[in-house]
Amino acid sequence: AMDTDLSSQDRKDLDKFIKFFALKTVQVIVQARLGEKICTRSSSSPTGSDWFNLAIKDIPEVTHEAKKALAGQLPAVGRSMCVEISLKTSEGDSMELEIWCLEMNEKCDKEIKVSYTVYNRLSLLLKSLLAITRVTPAYRLSRKQGHEYVILYRIYFGEVQLSGLGEGFQTVRVGTVGTPVGTITLSCAYRINLAFMSTRQFERTPPIMGIIIDHFVDRPYPSSSPMHPCNYRAGEDNGAVYPSVEDSQEVCTTSFSTSPPSQCVFTVTKAHFQTPPPVVMDTLKVPVMGLAFSHQLSSSRLSYQPAALGVGSADMGYPLLFAGGLNAAHPHQLIGPGKDGGVPPIPSQPAHGTQADQERMCTPLDGVHYSAATPSSSEDTETVSNSSEGKCGSPHDLLETIFIRKVGAFVNKPINQVTMANLDIPFAMFAPKNVELEDNDPMVNPPDSPEIESPLQGSLHSEGSSGSSTGNTQDDFVMIDFKPAFSKDDILPMDLGTFYREFQNPPQLSSLSIDIGAQSMAEDLDSLPEKLAVHEKNVKEFDAFVETLQ
C-alpha cells in the first residue's frame, strides 16, 4: 500500500484510532453479553478523551485480553480481530453463538481526512455496534444467563473461523469505514439454529414428572481454557491487578477533546426479563465485575460491605469485585478505578462475609457452602441493586459475591432439613413424607373456614370435618387473614379466600411421590420400548384419527 500520501502524523493518528477502535469494539461486544443493562452518562463538557466521543466503559480484564490477543498488532488484511461469543451449559457443553469480526481489506480511500472523517465514522460505527449487539439472538440469551448456562467470550487475532457456528449461520454487517490504508469492516456471523431454541429452551419449565435431574456436577472451572465468562473471570488471574486506564501516551489527542480520561459511571439494574432464582455455579473463587452483576447473583448470596473507599471524586466508577474466596487464605485486592489513572488498591474485606450472610449459610465444609435459596432471603439482598437502580451513578458499595454449590433446583430448606439430600430431584420437597390416608385428605375433609361469610357456606363442608385450617399438616405455608381483593360475590356461596384455603392442598399426584413414583417410573421406562412399538404399528389409525379432527 502506498502510504507516502499519508503524512506521518496522520498515519500515527490513524493507527491509534484503529487500535482504540478495536479495543472499544471488544468492550461493547463483551459488555453487551454480560447479561445486564448498560447505562452510561452523557457529558456535555469534554471531560473527553472518551474515545470517539462515546461513553464506553473499559473493563480492565477485557482490555487486557484484547491487548494480549492483538499483541501490538493492528487489524490488517488477513489479520482480523475476532470476538467469539459462546454459551456453556452447566453440564459443560459449549456452543459457539457468534463471531464478531473486525477486518481490514485492501480498498483504500486516499482522499478521506483521517483526523476528522475517519474518526467520526468510527464513532458512528461504534454506535451501530451498540445497536446491533442488542438484536442478534445471543443478546436475549445472555440476559437470561446465570442459572443453566453462562456466556463466554474469547478474543483471537488472525484468520476468522466460522466453522463452529453450525450450518446456515447468518451474517449481519455492522458497517465499514474507509481509510487511506484500507477499509475497516465490522460484522457478525451468528448461529441461527439457536434462535428457535433460545429463550424457551433455557427458561425454567417445571418437569412433568420430576424425571429431570438438575444438579450441577462439581466441575472445576476450566482455567486452562482461553474462554472467559462474560460475567466472571476464571480464577487463574485472581488477585491480578489490571491498570484501569490507558497509559498516559495513549490518551486520545484529537483536536476534538483535550482533557484526561473521564470515568463513565455504570448502574447496575435488575434484568428486566423474568429470571429464575439463581443457583450458582462454581466452587472456585472468581472475581465478579460490578457491571456483570446479574440479577440472579444479586438476589441470592451477597454480603454487603459498604465502605468508604476514599478514592476521591464523586463519580468514581463502579468497583470491581473479587469474590470472597471459599479458601481464602489471603485478602484480595479490590480495585476501584481512580480518576487520574492511578489504581489505588483498596484493602480488602474478609472473605467470609458479614453477619447477614452467616445466617443464611452453613459453616463451610470442604470449602463448599449450601445455601437456602428461598424467596425471602432474596428480598434482603436486593438492596444494592435497588439503590442504584434507574440511576447512572453507582453507590460506593462494595459487593462481594461468594460462589457456592447448588443443591437441587427447588430445594428451599436449609441443608440439614433436606431429607432427600441424595436425590437432586426438583420438587423433592413437595413429595409427601408418608402416604396419606384418605381421612387426612383435605379434599375429602376440608377444614372449617374460620370466616363464615354466608349462611350457605356451612353446607359445603363435608360431615367429617372438624379441625381448623391451621392444623393442617400439609401446610408448608400458612395463610393468615387471607383477604383476596374483589373476592366478595353474592352469587357464589363461598368467597375466594375460603375456596383458596380449602383447596390449597390438593393431594399429591401419586407419580410425584418419591417411593411410589420412582418405582412406577422405573416400570414406565422399562415398558417404553414396547409401547413405542405398539404405537408405531398403529400409526395409520392415529393418522386417520387426526384427519377426523381437522
Taken as a whole, the chain contains a residue count of: 550
Going by C-alpha positions, the residue among 501, 503, 509, 505 that lies closest to residue 435 is 509
Q: In angstroms, give the least distance from the CB of 144 to other proteins.
A: 12
30 counts as binding other proteins under rule CB under 8 A: no
Q: In angstroms, give the least distance from the CB of 45 to other proteins.
A: 6
Q: Specify the 3-state DSSP secondary structure of 94.
A: strand
**67/127 with CB nearer other proteins:** 127
- Cα 42 to Cα 134, 139, 257, 263, 396: the distances in Å are 20, 24, 15, 11, 20
298 counts as binding other proteins under rule CB under 8 A: no
CA atoms within 13 A on the CB side of 538: 9
Asked whether the beta carbons of 279 and 409 are under 8 A apart, the reply is yes
**299/377 with CB nearer other proteins:** 299
In the set 262, 349, 394, 449, which binds other proteins (CB under 8 A)? 262
Q: In angstroms, give the least distance from the CB of 10 to other proteins.
A: 17
Angle in degrees, CA 505, 507, 509, rounded to 5: 130
| Binding window for other proteins (CB under 8 A); candidates: 53-61, 231-239, 363-371, 427-435 | 53-61
Measured CA to CA, the distance from residue 134 to residue 126 in angstroms comes to 13
193 counts as binding other proteins under rule CB under 8 A: no
The rounded radius of gyration (Å) of the Cα atoms in the chain is: 29
**264/404 with CB nearer other proteins:** 264
274 counts as binding other proteins under rule CB under 8 A: no
228 counts as binding other proteins under rule CB under 8 A: no
Element (H, E) at 542: helix 539-549
Q: In angstroms, give the least distance from the CB of 181 to other proteins.
A: 17
Measured CA to CA, the distance from residue 99 to residue 80 in angstroms comes to 11
Measured CA to CA, the distance from residue 108 to residue 114 in angstroms comes to 12
Binding to other proteins (CB under 8 A) within 355-414 occurs at 392
Q: In angstroms, give the least distance from the CB of 32 to other proteins.
A: 9
| Binding window for other proteins (CB under 8 A); candidates: 250-258, 296-304, 480-488, 490-498 | 250-258
Residues near other proteins (CB under 8 A), total:
47
Angle in degrees, CA 99, 103, 105, rounded to 5: 145
Measured CA to CA, the distance from residue 132 to residue 157 in angstroms comes to 22
**138/407 with CB nearer other proteins:** 138
Mutual orientation of helices 8-31 and 60-70 as an angle, nearest 10°? Answer: 130
Binding to other proteins (CB under 8 A) within 106-125 occurs at 116, 121, 124-125
For residue 149, the one-letter residue type is Y
66 counts as binding other proteins under rule CB under 8 A: no
Q: In angstroms, give the least distance from the CB of 94 to other proteins.
A: 25
DSSP state of 506: P
* Cβ-Cβ contacts under 8 Å for 234 (sequence gap 6 or more): 221, 222, 223, 225, 228, 284, 286
Q: In angstroms, give the least distance from the CB of 319 to other proteins.
A: 20
Going by C-alpha positions, the residue among 298, 319, 324, 294 that lies closest to residue 397 is 319
| Binding window for other proteins (CB under 8 A); candidates: 131-139, 305-313, 318-326, 401-409 | 131-139
Q: In angstroms, give the least distance from the CB of 267 to other proteins.
A: 8
Binding to other proteins (CB under 8 A) within 504-533 occurs at none
Q: In angstroms, give the least distance from the CB of 49 to other proteins.
A: 9
In the set 59, 97, 132, 346, which binds other proteins (CB under 8 A)? 132
258 counts as binding other proteins under rule CB under 8 A: yes
272 counts as binding other proteins under rule CB under 8 A: yes
In the set 38, 83, 184, 402, which binds other proteins (CB under 8 A)? 38
Q: In angstroms, give the least distance from the CB of 246 to other proteins.
A: 16
In the set 174, 297, 384, 411, which binds other proteins (CB under 8 A)? 174
128 counts as binding other proteins under rule CB under 8 A: yes
Measured CA to CA, the distance from residue 13 to residue 122 in angstroms comes to 13
Q: In angstroms, give the least distance from the CB of 391 to other proteins.
A: 11
192 counts as binding other proteins under rule CB under 8 A: no
Element (H, E) at 28: helix 8-31
Measured CA to CA, the distance from residue 198 to residue 81 in angstroms comes to 27
9 counts as binding other proteins under rule CB under 8 A: no
What b/e sequence results for 416-434 when a residue is b if at least 16 CB atoms lie within 10 Å of its CB, and e otherwise?
eebeeeeebbbbbbebbee
Where do contacts with other proteins occur on this chain (CB under 8 A)? 37-48, 50, 53-55, 116, 121, 124-125, 127-128, 130-132, 134-136, 139-140, 143, 172-177, 199, 255-258, 262, 264, 272-273, 392
